[in-house]
Amino acid sequence: MKKVALFIVIFGLLVCGQAQKSFTFTYSKIMLDSTYRNQPDNPMVKILKPYKKLHDREMSIVIGEAEEILKSQPPQSPLSNLCTDVLFEATNRYCELHQLPLVDLSLLNFGGIRDSLLQGPITIGKIYVISPFDNYLCIIELKGSTLQEIFSQFTSTRNQPYSHAKINYKEHKPAQIWVNGAPLDPNKNYRLATVDFIRNGGDNIIPNSQNIKDKNVITTKLILRELIIDHIKNLTAAGMKLSKQLDDRAVIE
């Protein structure tokens, strides 16, 4: 009988050992609302103080004004048009300065334009929210057939922002494509203004981007966000405000 008792105790121990492996859980989220702020002895406030001072001084500078809300969305929108137009013009100014052939068109990604521009004063901080990434302008020389491949992935509800190209969509698909005023020629070489993120395959916009040879790419030290800031400053200096303008770069038939 004692042997049996010993056996059962050992069995109990084994069961206990097994049970150690399984577990149950309780799960919840702690929402970090304002009740967690302004509490005593929080070292984060002290760490942040000197940085916040520098940061806020820079970010609160007002550079212009928007007459109405400027959104960024497919197939075209005031803010995405603005960004690609700035990219196109700034790249061509760079080309003129460095005696390079001008670019034919520009291309960005909607993922790189992170927010809308609200009506009212525009601060530098707001442009950082819209364009937080340090994206460098670059110029790629590529075949018309590659451009066609890029555009053929577009639909009227899912495309990427561009300037100096025009796409007519039929049943959501690109039916006709023009570049800088002329129909896209698959055999012609084009010069595309974009940013390094896209050149290196970001968001998979350029199919097989690794096949683009470095000799066909010029990467500048110009950051897109800084060019957008300069553009708005120039508008303000000329007494102009940002307004909601669309054009015929994307037409849905």
Partner 1 sequence: MKRIHILLIFFLTPFFLKAQTDLVILHTNDTHSHIEPYKNKLGGYEARYEAVKQERDKEAELLLLDAGDFMQGTSYFNLFKGKVEVKMMNKMGYDAVSLGNHEFDNGLEALYKRLKKATFPVLCANYHFKHKKLEKLIKPYIVVEKKGIKIGIFGLLTNLKGYNGFPDVLNAVEYLDPVETAQNMVKQLKEIEHCDFIICLSHVGYEQAELFQKVFDPDIANAAGGIDLIIGGHTHKLLEQPDVVNGVPIVQNSDKGTMIGKMVIHFP
The residues of the shown chain that bind partner 1, judged by CB under 8 A, are 1, 4-5, 8-9, 11-13, 15-16, 19-20, 22-34, 36-37, 39, 42-45, 47-48, 51-52, 54-55, 58-59, 125, 128-129, 132-135, 195-204
Q: How far is the CB of 14 from partner 1 (least distance, A)?
A: 10
Q: How far is the CB of 44 from partner 1 (least distance, A)?
A: 5
Positive/negative CA dihedral, 214, 218, 221, 225: negative
Phi-psi region of 204 (alpha: psi -120 to 50; beta: other; left: phi over 0): left
For partner 1, give the closer residue by CB, 151 or 197. Answer: 197
Q: How far is the CB of 147 from partner 1 (least distance, A)?
A: 19
Q: What is the DSSP letter of 35?
A: G
Q: How far is the CB of 43 from partner 1 (least distance, A)?
A: 5
Nearest to 203 by CA among 107, 121, 124, 134: 107
Residue in this structure with the two tokens 């595309």, named with its chain if needed: 192
For partner 1, give the closer residue by CB, 185 or 196. Answer: 196
Question: What are the C-alpha distances in Å from 40 to residues 37, 44, 114?
Answer: 9, 11, 35
Q: How far is the CB of 205 from partner 1 (least distance, A)?
A: 10
Q: How far is the CB of 141 from partner 1 (least distance, A)?
A: 18
For partner 1, give the closer residue by CB, 133 or 178. Answer: 133
Quick one: three-class SS letters along 200-240? CCHHHCCCCHHHCCHHHEEEEEEEHHHHHHHHHHHHHHCCC
Q: How far is the CB of 38 from partner 1 (least distance, A)?
A: 8
For partner 1, give the closer residue by CB, 89 or 226. Answer: 226
For partner 1, give the closer residue by CB, 55 or 158. Answer: 55
For partner 1, give the closer residue by CB, 74 or 125. Answer: 125
For partner 1, give the closer residue by CB, 68 or 196. Answer: 196
Alpha carbon distance 87, 164 (integer Å): 11
DSSP letter string over 55-117? HHHHHT-EEEEESS-B---SS--HHHHHHHHHHHHHHHHHHHHTT-PPPSEEE--GGG--SPB
